[in-house]
Amino acid sequence: MSTTSNAPKKNGIVEWIDYRLPIFTFMNHELREYPTPKNLNYWWNFGSLAGIVLVVMILSGIFLAMNYTAHVDYAFVSVERIMRDVNYGWLLRYIHMNGASMFFLVVYIHIFRGLYYGSYKPPREILWWLGLVILILMMATAFLGYVLPWGQMSFWGATVITNLFSAIPLVGEPIVTWLWGGFSVDNPTLNRFFSLHYLLPFVIVGVVMLHLVALHTHGSNNPLGIDTKKNPKDSIPFHPYYTVKDMFGLGVFLVIYAGFVFFAPNFFGEPVNYVPANPLQTPSEIVPEWYLLPFYAILRSVPDKLAGVIAMFGAIFILFLLPWLDSSKVRSATFRPIYKQLFWIFLADCLVLGWCGAQHPEGAPLLIGRLATAYYFLHFIVLLPLVSKFEKPRPLPESISTPVLKTEKA
Amino acid sequence: MSESAHASATHGHPGHGEGETRRDFLALAATAFAGAGAACALWPFIDSMNPAADTLALSTTDVDISPIAEGMRVTVKWRGRPVFIDHRTKKQIDEARAVNISELRDPAKDEDRAQKAEWLVMVGVCTHLGCIPLGQKQGDPTGDFGGWFCPCHGSHYDTSGRIRKGPAPLNLPVPPYKFLTDTSVSIG
């Protein structure tokens, strides 16, 4: 076991291929010797976890599609057939259903990790943008997929979300008709949603590749938020140190994921979606899946239709400006006493918005939702620019090794 | 072969600036032409997502209104969405007509919304985000103005289907319809 030498083993066939298509050199460079900061904590597990969940979603989805029928008369029954008659169909569907929730959970943690440690700051702005593009594609894919079982919530969720576009002045109505392919959510809508739901995950894979290229250009950020290229002692090879750490995290994650799949498969779902779609009857309450609730709360807290839609989309698009709204040179919140507090308040604000999104928009929840929406934008537009200007950050260590050595002396 | 290569070489050399501008112009013109062509080729794909001919062909619905008694409300399906037919009582008509229309969010006279005062025909889709307002069935909530109430986000409509309270921006739309006979309506 010569684990210390990180070079790939010599092998005639491998060398023959590698000379013509340098895939093994590439893999060795990006997955084995890729220099990684030595101080990454467990919050850095969630990027690779997200990638693995994406693969699980694509695989389970491909097999579900083999038994699914995208037609208003058969969609609901075909899903029930998957649940009752198809061998292990129930397992595939529960993996896919809960996988969507797990995907968002993992990605939201990954994003908040980036917010805390300033991973969006130079030179990683495009890396951050690509991540946001992935988030938007994920939301679109999840929404399209939720429509496919053609239950009541599928139908009415599709109706409400597509109607958001009717808020656009002048061209709103023709756009909605174009999205539907008719005058209401109907068979043409279901067909195209299935087509797009199958397409978008592969688009996500493409953007993930770009995300990785951007990541590997300047390497991972780290909990101290300092550049590690200056000191060679600050980096360790990705394999075996982080492959092992990622695998361990994956094991823990799979326990939780499997727990939902096998013991609470409908925990995240809405019971009313087991009622077949009825275009003539709206369910008493239309609620999106949990991962969209904060945005739904923002939509509903603005009394004007168009302004509400703008606020909801603005809540995501403002994140693209984050590298400029937060102009502090210091990345990690560890060294930013005021930003650190703002981060936790902002996280709480997002959770409050999520809670409001699940409530009936009247009385106290409506008022709380409005305040939380106001704070969401206040955080980005007012607080972050001011704090990044006036905050006095704590002194940064020169390298990752330095603070460790100091504590050893003391 | 060699002749033409020679010719282009001698052409390219003298007058650098002129040659560059001519080449730039050709490159720009070719790119613009290809771009416009690509945009045109995109249109059939986009338009294929608009309603198809068979979807458009289903665009009228005829309804026999003779069994609808005064005070009764009936829902029929037109273009995949519900249409409310309301045989209004005298009281409901009077209420709808007594309103000062300048106070309305989407001002419209009841006289303009109902061809015959006792018959109100509207698309039963909330103008906020497309839910179906309640009020068609006996015992449904009808909102603060005796018309319809949308449970999704709390819009109240009056007995003329006009928006009175809540987030919806517009009145329930009146579809194109005509009375074929006294007891039959054609919607669409």
Pairing of strands A35-37, A235-237: antiparallel
Catalytically active residues of A, by annotation: 216, 220, 245-246, 289
What pLDDT was estimated at residue A8? Answer: 55
ipTM of predicted assembly, 2 dp: 0.78
Contacts B50 to A, Cβ<8 Å: 177-178, 181
Q: How far apart are CA B159 and CA B119, in angstroms?
A: 11
Residue A7, pLDDT score:
57
- With contacts defined as CB-CB under 8 Å, which chain B residues touch A182? 51, 55, 79-80
What is residue B182's predicted lDDT score, i.e. its pLDDT?
87
CA-based nearest residue in chain A for residue B125 = A280
Indicate the domain borders of chain A: 39-286, 288-393
For residue B154, CA distances in Å to A128, A159, A257, A354, B165 come to 38, 17, 37, 20, 8
pLDDT in tens, chain B (188 residues): 444 444 444 454 555 555 678 889 999 999 999 999 999 999 999 999 999 988 887 778 888 998 998 888 999 988 888 999 999 999 999 988 988 888 898 999 888 999 998 899 999 999 888 889 999 888 888 888 989 998 777 889 999 999 998 888 899 999 999 999 888 999 98
CB contact under 8 A, A163 and B51: no
> pLDDT digits over A220-277, tens only?
999 999 998 778 889 999 999 999 999 999 999 999 999 999 999 999 999 999 999 9
Q: What is the pLDDT of residue B1?
A: 40
Residue partners of B16: CB distance under 8 A and separation at least 6: none
Asked if A8 and A184 count as a contact pair (C-beta separation under 8 A), the reply is: no
Which chain A positions have a beta carbon within 8 Å of B51's beta carbon?
A: 177, 180-183, 188
Torsion of CA B170, B171, B177, B181, to 10 degrees: 180
pLDDT tens track of chain A, all 410 residues? Answer: 344 445 556 789 999 999 999 999 999 999 999 999 999 999 999 999 999 999 999 999 999 999 999 999 999 999 999 999 999 999 999 999 999 999 999 999 999 999 999 999 999 999 999 999 999 999 999 999 999 999 999 999 999 899 889 888 889 989 999 999 998 999 999 999 999 999 999 999 999 999 999 999 999 999 999 998 778 889 999 999 999 999 999 999 999 999 999 999 999 999 999 999 998 888 878 889 999 999 999 998 988 888 999 999 999 999 999 999 999 999 999 999 999 999 999 999 999 999 999 988 778 999 999 999 999 999 999 999 999 999 999 999 888 887 655 554 44
Which residue of chain B is at minimal alpha-carbon distance from A175?
Answer: B50
Q: What is the pLDDT of residue A365?
A: 92
Q: What pLDDT does A241 receive? A: 95
Of A159, A182, A361, the CB nearest to B130: A159
Rounded CA Rg of chain A: 24
Contact A308 B169 (CB under 8 A): no
Q: Starting from the edge strand earliest in sequence, which strands make up the sheet with B177-181, in order?
A: B61-64, B184-187, B177-181
CA atoms within 13 A on the CB side of B143: 26
Measured torsion, CA atoms of residues A111, A381, A117, A102, in degrees rounded to the nearest 10: -10
DSSP per-residue codes, B108-168: --HHHH-SBTTEEEEE-S-TTTS---B-SSTT---TTTEEEEETTTTEEEETT--EEESS-
B151 touching chain A per CB within 8 A: yes
Measured CA to CA, the distance from residue B185 to residue B179 in angstroms comes to 4
- pLDDT (0 to 100) of residue A228: 85
> Is the domain covering A288-393 a CATH 1.10.287.980 domain?
yes
Alpha-carbon distances, residue A349 vs A264, A307, A355, A378, B183 (angstroms): 28, 21, 10, 11, 58
Q: Which residue's entry shows tokens 């949990």?
A: A290
Q: Are A199 and A1 in contact (CB under 8 A)?
A: no
Q: Is the dihedral of CA B110, B112, B118, B123 positive or negative?
A: negative
Phi and psi torsions of B36, nearest 5°: -65, -40
From the list A98, A61, A403, the residue with the least C-alpha distance to A233 is: A403
When CB atoms are compared, the residue of B77, B80, B130 closest to A163 is B130
C-beta of residue A380 within 8 angstroms of C-beta of residue A327: no
A160 at interface of B, judged by CB pairs closer than 8 A: yes
User: A223 and A117 in contact (C-beta within 8 Å)?
Assistant: yes
CB atoms B51 and A284 under 8 Å = no
Nearest Cα to A357, choosing from A301, A306, A317, A319? Answer: A301
Q: Do B51 and A188 touch (CB under 8 A)?
A: yes
CA angle, corner B109, sides to B104 and B112, nearest 5? 140
Q: Read off φ and ψ for residue A355, nearest 5 degrees.
A: -65, -45
Count of C-beta atoms within a 10 Å radius of residue A295: 19
Please state the three-class secondary structure of chain A as a single string: CCCCCCCCCCCHHHHHHHHHCCHHHHHHHHHHCCEEECCCCHHHHHHHHHHHHHHHHHHHHHHHHCCCCCCCCCHHHHHHHHHHCCCCHHHHHHHHHHHHHHHHHHHHHHHHHHHHHCCCCCCCHHHHHHHHHHHHHHHHHHHHHHHCCCEHHHHHHHHHHHHHHHHCCCCHHHHHHHHHCCCCCCHHHHHHHHHHHHHHHHHHHHHHHHHHHHHHHHCCCCCCCCCCCCCHHHEEEHHHHHHHHHHHHHHHHHHHHHHHHHHCCCCCCCHHHHCECCCCCCCCCCCCCHHHHHHHHHHHHCCCHHHHHHHHHHHHHHHHHHHHHCCCCCCCHHHCHHHHHHHHHHHHHHHHHHHHHCCCCCHHHHHHHHHHHHHHHHHHHHHHHHHHHHCCCCCCCCCCHHHHHHHHHC
B46 in contact with A, Cβ within 8 Å: yes
Q: Chain A contact for B40, CB < 8 A?
A: no
Fold of A39-286: Cytochrome Bc1 Complex; Chain C (1.20.810)
